[in-house]
Structure 1
Amino acid sequence: MIRLHHCHETRSMRTLWMLNELGLEYELKTYPFDRTLRAPQYLSLNPSGRVPTLEINGEVIWESGAITEFLAENHSPDRLWRRPDDPDRADWLTWLHFAETISQHTAALTQQHVVLYEDWMRSPTIMKIEARRLEKCFDAIEGRLSTPVENRDYLLTSGFSAADISVGQAVYMGRHFARIEPYPELCKWYERITDRPSFQASLPPDDARLYEQEFYEPWPENRPDDAESAGAATGRAG
């Protein structure tokens, strides 16, 4: 039995894509993006109160990178995994976990643009800094894909792997806050991997998206209503 605990357009989408790519049968338990994950019943599975959580054959795994490694090693050792003696092993591990570097900047931007419910809580400075950090991540991917290697269609010389899934999902989220159009090789790679049926099957319904906008521009410093917002904030603080 495989059960994935999932919120749309979060890191658990990475696991959902993996399951679809592997063609495994699974049960999907979907949660709203709110405090539901803090319920005692869920915390008994995942003490961090986050997604993904994967129940698989009596085991519970609740860290997305660990889940990806587990699924690749146990269910796709010759395609999505790279064995310890494989020449691409070190690169596989590097890119697999680089997805989390991308995701941490996206998480900060998601908090600023989506989660915080009052304008006075948001910081234009954080928005601009984190968006720039995302661009630096895109620089790294563009550099990798621009390396003059024959048949450089994917992050690894040996072809498509779980690393493409992990980084691809992170870029899917990050592109809401930093544009990928200035990166031609990244764009071609992203189009290639997101054209896969396994990715398409992992997308949320239109009425269940976390990101209501296709792109969120950083706010300018010293917005016209900043003084009013600051006054409101002061009033709330008492």
Structure 2
Amino acid sequence: MSDLIFYTNPMSRGRVARWMLEEVGAPYETVVLDYGTTMKGPDYLAINPMGKVPAIVHNGRAVTEGAAIVAYLAEAFPEAGLAPTAAERANYYRWMFFAAGPLEAVTADKALGVAPTADQQRMVGYGSLDHVVDALEGAVKANPYIAGDRFTAADVFVGSHIAWGMQFGTLPQRDAFDAYVARIMGREAAARAREIDDALMPQPVS
């Protein structure tokens, strides 16, 4: 059995973890789970009681949640050079967890047609979609990459969310987002990860 096992479905946030795994370059085993069966089965629930993907098991220890997986892999494989330096650490963690918190929440609410009232905006954490988008735009304008002048693991996570948001219409089109996504999505590891996951997609019945 591999020291690094990746549990995923090609139609899930597992695509973010796949990209990070390809950036890291360490050998790993892929286990593809089905939403209605194996993802809810006892074997996988022992790894992730939420019954969702992605998850990894590295040297017998499970890690779930996309941002945690990305951050963990950056630290577990320092030779990949994707963890932050001391100078990059503030932006790295700030914006990675901004994407995992306010950005995920507000885009999910938009997709579900949930629009907090002015009074409710004080409760939901993200305030409003405009607040989140403006803050995120400022982050990608400030530097070439999220943490500074070079690509880090935070770009895998934040960049994936921006790309998906523009693709599915939960984020508005902004020039700064277009430029940032173009910078990161052309990476060899990103292209390789997309190719692997696309090949695992269900094929139409002829």
TM value normalised by structure 2? 0.78
Deviations 1:24-65 (A, max 9, x none): 111111223445422111101111111111011222111222
**Equivalent residue runs for 1:175-190 within 5 Å:** 175=166, 176-181=168-173, 183-190=174-181
Deviations 1:63-116 (A, max 9, x none): 222222221112136721124xx1221111111112212223344456x4xxxx
1:137 aligns with 2:132: yes
Conserved 8 A contact 1:14-1:169? yes
Structure 1 unaligned segments of length 5 or more: list them.
Answer: 113-124, 210-238
1:103 aligns with 2:95: no
Q: Indicate the residue corresponding to 2:114 in structure 1.
A: 126
Identity of aligned residues (%): 26
1:167 aligns with 2:158: yes
Q: 1:40 to 1:103 in 2, by over 3 A?
A: same
Structure 2 unaligned segments of length 5 or more: list them.
Answer: 118-126
Report the alpha carbon displacement of residue 146 of structure 1 after superposing the two structures with TM: 2.5
Q: 1:43 to 1:64 in 2, by over 3 A?
A: same
- Distance across 2 between alignment mates of 1:206 and 1:78: 26
**Equivalent residue runs for 1:27-106 within 5 Å:** 27-34=29-36, 36-76=38-78, 79-83=81-85, 86-101=86-101, 102-106=103-107
Q: Indicate the residue corresponding to 1:234 in structure 2.
A: none
Deviations 1:123-171 (A, max 9, x none): xx42799xx9555433222112323xxxx32112241111111101112
Conserved 8 A contact 1:138-1:186? no
Corresponding residue to 1:7 among 2, 6, 9: 9
- Distance across 1 between alignment mates of 2:193 and 2:107: 19
Q: 1:75 to 1:206 in 2, by over 3 A?
A: closer
Equivalent residue letter for 1:79: G
Q: 1:23 to 1:51 in 2, by over 3 A?
A: same
Q: 1:106 to 1:51 in 2, by over 3 A?
A: farther
Structure 1 or 2, whichever has the larger Rg, is: 1
The alignment covers a number of residue pairs equal to: 188
**Equivalent residue runs for 1:175-214 within 5 Å:** 175=166, 176-181=168-173, 183-203=174-194, 204-205=197-198, 208=201
Secondary structure of the residue aligned to 2:91 is helix
Conserved 8 A contact 2:11-2:201? no
- Distance across 2 between alignment mates of 1:168 and 1:139: 16
